[in-house]
Structure 1
Amino acid sequence: MSENVRNSVLLIAFVSVGFIEPVQAYLDPSTGSMLLSAVIGMLATLGLVVKTYWYKLKSFFRKTPQEHNKER
């Protein structure tokens, strides 16, 4: 990114900060619990996907028998 573009982005960011208004929002204690549940669910899903495709991934990176014989 050129210096002019970087400076323009920084200028816009700093000017925008001056126009921020306070918001009227309330996050109750259960919101953190909900977010934690979502993250745990995503990690469980990722683990299941890795477990499901583990042998396909393993065989993809494994050497074929022909390549193994060429090295000997």
Structure 2
Amino acid sequence: MTKKIFVISIISLCYVNNAHAYLDPSTGGMLISAILGMFATLGLVIKSYWYKLKSIFRKKD
């Protein structure tokens, strides 16, 4: 049964249809901006939690 599913999936991957899609240059810019924004947000979240964790484990005088 699994061999049959494997063969069917390989055959279906060999027949690819055209997407008829167009990505203009501004779409690429939007994608890059979104990715950079996610990395910046992730960096700020990590930084804020890092200082909280650091203050918990710091020795108190």
Same fold flag (TM > 0.5): yes
**What TM-score comes out, normalization by structure 1 length?**
0.59
Shift in Å at residue 18 of structure 1? 3.0
Higher Cα Rg, which structure: 1
- Pick one of 11, 15, 25 that aligns with 2:11: 15
**What TM-score comes out, normalization by structure 2 length?**
0.67
Number of the residue aligned with 2:27: 31
- SS of corresponding position for 2:31: helix
The percent of aligned pairs where both chains have the same amino acid is 50
Number of the residue aligned with 1:53: 49
Number of the residue aligned with 2:38: 42
Gaps of 5+ in 1: 66-72
- Between the two proteins, the alignment pairs up a number of residues equal to 60
What's the Cα RMSD here? 2.8
Distance 1:48 1:8, change over 3 A: farther
